[in-house]
Amino acid sequence: MTSSLSVRTSGILPSQAIAKLVSDGAIAASAPIGEEQIQPASLDLRLGRRAFRVRASFIPGPGTKTEDQIERFKLHTIDLGPGAVLEVGCVYVAEIDETLALPLFLSGIANPKSSTGRLDVFTRVIADHGPGFDQTGAGYKGRLWLEICPQTFPILVRTGSRLSQIRFRDANGGGVAASAEAGGQQRDVFLSVELGGEPGALIGYRAKRHTGVIDVDRAGAYDIEEFWEPIAATHHHRLILDPDEFYILASKEAVRVPATHAAEMEPFNALMGEFRVHYAGFFDPGFGMAEAGGQGSRAVLEVRSHKVPFILEDGQLIGRLSYEPLSEPPARLYGHGIGSHYQAQSLKLSKHFRAV
């Protein structure tokens, strides 16, 4: 790929193509975009100077700009420079520092970062005139915004905090086809939940309510017991999800994403049950690969039941992982070599908590 702006590619762009978009000015920001922001197949987005507490979530629509909607619905403006606490149950829209001027054949697809989802922080990227949340549409030119709604823990954020990430895809590339082979991987792979083991063994965590604040930029700073209740296996190997409680569980299967592909987990499927299984469902190329230090990596499941109690059984299908090809293998793979926090994970909370 000689120029990411002039040569049409098919699939998700890898790290070197994202870096080329930055150097060519298709991705810009007020602060320099650092190498650590560029992941194997995605770019971390940073919060800008301001956030706005708004009355409710919204989509701008085809004839309205996000900035205009903020002016209509904001309750107050928050300066993120010194840091600010975002409260549970409130809706905020924050400026994103990065702006886009994409070529016509590229579109952006966003999702929360893994650490964001594991804190039960609901985020969605908003683009003016976009087809929906977390999508830019083809050839998008303009600024981006981030809707943020902490669901369980109050969080401390500031200018430069990274809560979301964006991928770039050939706008005319096809969707993911079910049951098609992709470099030795099934394009769609179903995952089940791990609730087995000897009685008393740790199988998950349930979030506590009314906790202290979590600084999203501090890794390894918090004691698990102050924020989470451990869940132990029982002899019947099942778990009843209480409505509107938040759980961290793990898949029974190991997950492997080859260098030629990226993967995404479907967040909600009513055919599997009335629960949401994932907020941050993107897996970079290299996740779970033995050569990248990821042998045996499991998918961590961020689970919330909708309105009614729901019984999960050990081995029950709980999610679907869809693979999508990259336009070319990335220059870097997900793993310890680039400081990835969740390679070789089993059941694992977000990076903010001290290892047991």
pLDDT of res. 280: 60
Q: What are phi and psi of 320, to 5 degrees?
A: -130, 130
Burial class (CB in 10 A: 0-12, 13-18, 19+), 178: exposed
**Distance (Å, whole) CA 90 – CA 54:** 8
- CA dihedral sign, ordered 331, 336, 340, 342: positive
Parallel, antiparallel or unpaired: strands 214-215 and 155-157: parallel
pLDDT of res. 149: 96
Q: What are phi and psi of 7, to 5 degrees?
A: -110, 125
Per-position pLDDT tens, the chain of length 356:
333 444 445 799 999 999 999 999 999 999 999 999 999 999 999 999 999 999 999 988 777 899 999 999 999 999 999 999 999 999 999 999 999 999 999 999 999 999 999 999 999 999 998 788 999 989 999 999 999 999 999 999 999 999 999 999 986 644 433 223 344 444 788 889 999 989 999 999 999 999 999 999 999 999 999 999 999 999 999 999 999 899 999 999 999 999 999 999 876 565 556 667 766 678 999 998 888 787 888 989 999 887 889 999 999 988 888 899 999 999 988 877 777 777 767 899 999 999 86
pLDDT of res. 304: 87
pLDDT of res. 273: 61
Tally of CA atoms within 13 A in the half-sphere of 159 that contains its CB: 12
Q: What are phi and psi of 115, to 5 degrees?
A: -65, -30
- Contact between 256 and 296 (Cβ < 8 Å): no
> Which tokens belong to 243?
């409505």
- Contact between 77 and 70 (Cβ < 8 Å): no
Q: What are phi and psi of 296, to 5 degrees?
A: 85, 10
pLDDT of res. 6: 43
pLDDT of res. 279: 64
**Distance (Å, whole) CA 246 – CA 243:** 9
pLDDT of res. 342: 77
User: 149, 166, 249, 235: which is closest to 205 by C-alpha?
Assistant: 249
> Which tokens belong to 17?
């193509």
- CA dihedral sign, ordered 246, 204, 258, 190: negative
- Contact between 262 and 322 (Cβ < 8 Å): no
> Which tokens belong to 55?
């009355």
Report which DSSP code applies to 200.
T
> The pTM is what?
0.90
**Distance (Å, whole) CA 14 – CA 167:** 9
Give the DSSP H or E segment for 262: strand 261-265
Question: From residue 45, how far is each of 146, 166, 263 by CA, in Å?
Answer: 9, 7, 19
pLDDT of res. 9: 54
> Which tokens belong to 290?
């033995």
pLDDT of res. 7: 46
